């Protein structure tokens, strides 16, 4: 595990560091003027002596709203934080997205540390500067681009993560494996299943590092998702978001992404864009880790796949685009026919 | 009046343009996907045919809160705006600060046009990227740095501005006159009183241009107020904010700034920092335009000047700093003794 930096805009550098529980405790205790935000699942990671500077939110996406945001801002105000103070989010994607948003708007921007406590947030929310809250039922409607300058990865935090959460994060890791021409993450996943599933700290740290470095390639080229490069990271996500919506979010995000990856590559093969052996590599890796890609949905739900995409923040005027791959790390946007979507996702 | 551009960060250029009512109407009508935000005083400037895309907020600082913010975001959502749509704020500082904030957080950032309708917002809020709402009684606690790419200055909008509002804006203009080594704005103000007070469009346009170009000098060097350069624009503001607070905002902002300018220079003279003839130039200009700088406050209110500064977003650890001038456009930060503050601002 090697520390590295990611530069998202002029003067805004994210330093990603790897440490253990002791190192985390020392690091958090060393911050002089800070507010620590966690949820019920992650607050244990914040040292006892910092508890008066700590806000513990209720867990869950349903709390990713302005009520929680206001709690963070009021706590910061109560602690008399200034814009040179630091907001520290310790938790999963909900905590880190909200803490980042609060930090970005408090006095027009305070400092920000993210300590992701789930595999999904380690490989996704921690890096890239997206902050948000949900609003009026729309996910991430209100937010900013505001990179943390400080991301602390503590693989030891994954020891107690429930299996479903772990597999959810792993779905995003597997997606990243196909988004780079360098197959090192792919081979690492093929060769280290035992260490990964046993939550070996060293193995997980290396895996997170490889996965974050794939994300880094895309976000550094297109920090605010304006050039159509960063959006390649949404490979599988149009399918995934629709599936999450149809199942009322009972299918966890990264598990939906794993399924969406399979659908996106199957779509690519059908459209003669994706080489069959690339899809077979994905099939192999997904089944090695036990993902069920055979899930199909009721026919009457198929229009949701189209409407979901139309609501998407990343929509543009050229129609409903899906991302697929034309090779390892070679993303391409396609506009599939509705009948093809139905053929891929619907029960026969 | 010449259009110009201001570059606040890589890739973020504000284009400032000058036009008349007809030009404004044409410009607003030409925007394809937009939400127009105004208040009761400024909505007349938005062409009738755009009314279904227009949100009219209640006027006044007391509405600069998250309720208004949510109204803007809900209207945008109702209009199905995407992040490539444009938020257009037509109004004074309250409308432009809130529209800018809403634009900066809607889907992590939509496009932004500001059409300032008051002199104060033309010379201050329109340029520089500060967006905000008040929160729990703290002014501008929650906000972002988010420069409009498009600022439209329409001097004709000032025709109907109440006299007090006009003089409030002029207070900031006079402050700007002393913040530049180039005395062109100072001489313009000395020589064009009649045209200015008669609200001659051409004269006002030129004055706004000269004033904005002073602000541009500072904000381009320090866009997010991190280097101690942009904060020079707060000349007179520590005194002004305290006065506004003491008088419960009955003294308008720019009028308080004019008074604060006088106090800051008097302080500088007392501390042997400011040349006496510089203060005399300010005295002369302020009295030419009828500002009353003789106002003094009750002795028991003096501590507010200190505590106000301590609450300030721009505070740092080196004590309570005030800005004054050591020459034309040469700002300096000083730490005055409490007794000196009392001597300057209190009734004897």
A307 pLDDT above the threshold of 70: no
| Alpha-carbon A33 to chain mean position | 28
pLDDT recorded at residue A309: 58
**pLDDT score at A340:** 92
Tell me if chain B has a CB within 8 Å of the CB of A228: no
Output the pLDDT for position A80: 95
Mean pLDDT of B227-243: 92
Q: Does A221 touch chain B (CB under 8 A)?
A: no
Judge: domain B189-345, CATH 1.20.1090.10: yes
Plot region of B189 (φ>0 → left; ψ -120 to 50 → alpha; else → beta) = alpha
- Whether residue B81 is predicted with pLDDT greater than 90 in this model: the reply is yes
Determine the Cα–Cα distance for residues A95 and A148; give it in Å rounded to an integer. 13
DSSP-H helix ranges across A42-128: 66-78, 93-105, 119-120
Judge whether A135 is closer than 8 Å to chain B, CB to CB. Answer: yes
Check CB contact of B307 with chain A, cutoff 8 Å: no
- Binning pLDDT at 50, 70 and 90, where does residue B92 land? very high
Which residues of chain A does B316 touch, with a Cβ-Cβ cutoff of 8 Å? 84
Q: Give the distance from residue B132's alpha carbon to the nearest chain A alpha carbon, in angstroms.
A: 8
Chain B: nearest CA to A268, how far in angstroms? 27
Position A245 scores a pLDDT of 86
**Spans of all domains in chain B:** 4-160, 189-345
Tokens 């004590």 -> residue: B319
DSSP 8-class letter at B59: P
- Work out the average pLDDT over B296-306: 83
- Beta carbons of A117 and A91 less than 8 angstroms apart: yes
The per-residue pLDDT for B65 is: 97
**Interface pTM, i.e. ipTM:** 0.92
Q: pLDDT of A82-140, one tens digit each?
A: 999 999 999 999 999 999 999 999 999 999 999 999 999 999 989 999 999 999 989 99
Q: Provide the percentage of residues in chain A whose pLDDT is more than 90.
A: 81
| Closest chain B CA to residue A315 | B82
Average confidence (pLDDT) over B270-296: 96
Lowest mean pLDDT among A52-56, A153-157, B318-322: B318-322
Distance separating alpha carbons of residues A334 and A160, to the nearest angstrom: 40
**Whole-number pLDDT of residue B123:** 96
Among B8, B75, B108, B219, most A C-beta atoms within 10 A, so best to mutate, is B108
Distance from CA of A70 to the nearest CA of B (A): 9
Q: Residue B305's pLDDT is what? A: 76
Q: Is A74 on the interface with B (CB under 8 A)?
A: yes
Residue B313 has pLDDT above 60, yes or no: no
pTM: 0.93
Does the pLDDT of residue B332 top 90, yes or no?
yes
**Tell me, what DSSP letter sits at residue B109?**
-
| Chain position carrying tokens 């990671």 | A45
CATH 3.40.50.1970 fits A4-160, yes or no: yes
CA distance A90 to A115: 5
């Amino acid at each position: 595990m090697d520390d590295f930096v990611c530069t998202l805009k002029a003067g805004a550098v994210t330093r990603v560091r790897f440490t253990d529980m002791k190192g985390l405790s020392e690091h958090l205790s060393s911050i002089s003027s800070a507010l620590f935000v966690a949820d019920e699942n992650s607050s244990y990671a914040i040292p006892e002596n910092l508890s008066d500077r700590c806000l513990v939110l209720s867990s869950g996406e349903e709390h990713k709203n302005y009520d929680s945001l206001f709690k963070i801002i009021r706590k910061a105000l109560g602690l008399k934080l200034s814009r040179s103070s630091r907001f520290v989010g310790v938790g999963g994607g909900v905590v880190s997205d909200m803490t980042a948003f609060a930090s970005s708007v408090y006095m027009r921007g305070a400092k920000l540390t993210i300590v992701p406590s789930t595999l999904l947030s380690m490989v996704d929310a921690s890096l890239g500067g997206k902050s948000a809250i949900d609003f009026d039922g729309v996910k991430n409607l209100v937010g900013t681009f505001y990179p943390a300058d400080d991301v602390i990865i503590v693989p030891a935090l994954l020891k107690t993560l429930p299996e479903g959460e772990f597999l959810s994060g792993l779905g995003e890791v597997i997606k990243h494996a196909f988004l780079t021409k360098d197959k090192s993450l792919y081979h690492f996943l093929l060769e280290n299943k035992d260490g990964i599933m046993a939550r070996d700290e060293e193995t997980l740290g290396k895996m997170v590092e490889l996965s974050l470095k794939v994300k880094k390639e895309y976000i550094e080229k297109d920090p605010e998702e304006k050039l159509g490069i960063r959006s390649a990271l949404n490979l599988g996500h149009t399918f995934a978001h629709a599936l999450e919506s149809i199942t009322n979010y009972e299918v966890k995000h990264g598990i939906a992404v794993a399924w969406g990856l399979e659908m996106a590559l199957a779509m690519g093969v059908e459209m003669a864009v994706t080489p069959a052996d690339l899809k077979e590599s994905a099939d192999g890796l997904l089944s090695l880790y036990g993902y069920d890609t055979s899930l199909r949905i009721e026919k009457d739900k198929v229009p949701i796949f189209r409407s979901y995409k139309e609501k998407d923040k990343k929509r543009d005027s050229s129609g409903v685009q899906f991302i697929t791959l034309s090779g390892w790390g070679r993303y391409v946007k396609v506009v599939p026919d509705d009948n093809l979507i139905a053929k891929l996702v619907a029960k026969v």
